[in-house]
Amino acid sequence: MRDSPLRYFAFFWASSQGFHLWKDFKIISAAFAAFAETSPNNQTVLLVRSVFFLCEVLTMFSSLVWPSNRSVLLANTVASLCYVTAFGPLSNHMLTKQCFLLILLVVLLWYRREKESAVSLKICKALEAVVPLQMIALYVVAAVHKLNDSWFDSTKSCASQVMAIVWSQYFSPSPADNSSSSSS
């Protein structure tokens, strides 16, 4: 599987997970900074989240180092699915990631017993067939959900709110925060 498409997929998939984990690292590190002042119940949740986070980080880095290892990709998929399900926000983006991880998990388990020589291409072809259907279903549901009378009303549309949330997760402060503070 040295030059297989699955090797490249595993490497780039793990790389994209790193961007999501960076955002969570900022959240977890800020929570640990205030660890002493939090309630014991919140401390427990933070410790559990940190264990899940570390498992996903370790499997993500393993996929970067050994992208041709199907067992590592399977472990990465399971760790990511558990972490996203337990601690991911309920957004279309995370629901899409969950669906994709479930598809990837099923495909990896389906071909787990086959010889290495032909399985990489089979896995990639299976993903190539299923993922576009998932994307079509997601965007059809999103389009139907958005078709309402407040589509063009910026005070009711969630697009500006979602952009501010996404911006604040990766960068601080958001451009909306700068424009409102400079105009006052």
First and final C-alpha spacing in the chain: 60
Q: Look up residue 47 and give its amino acid.
A: L
The tens digit of pLDDT for each residue in 17-53 reads 887 787 778 777 777 777 767 777 777 888 888 888 8
Q: Mean pLDDT across the stretch 106-133? A: 76
Closest CA to 103 of 114, 95, 93, 91: 95
CA atoms within 13 A on the CB side of 108: 20
Q: Look up residue 134 and give its amino acid.
A: Q
- Residue scoring higher pLDDT (11 or 119): 11
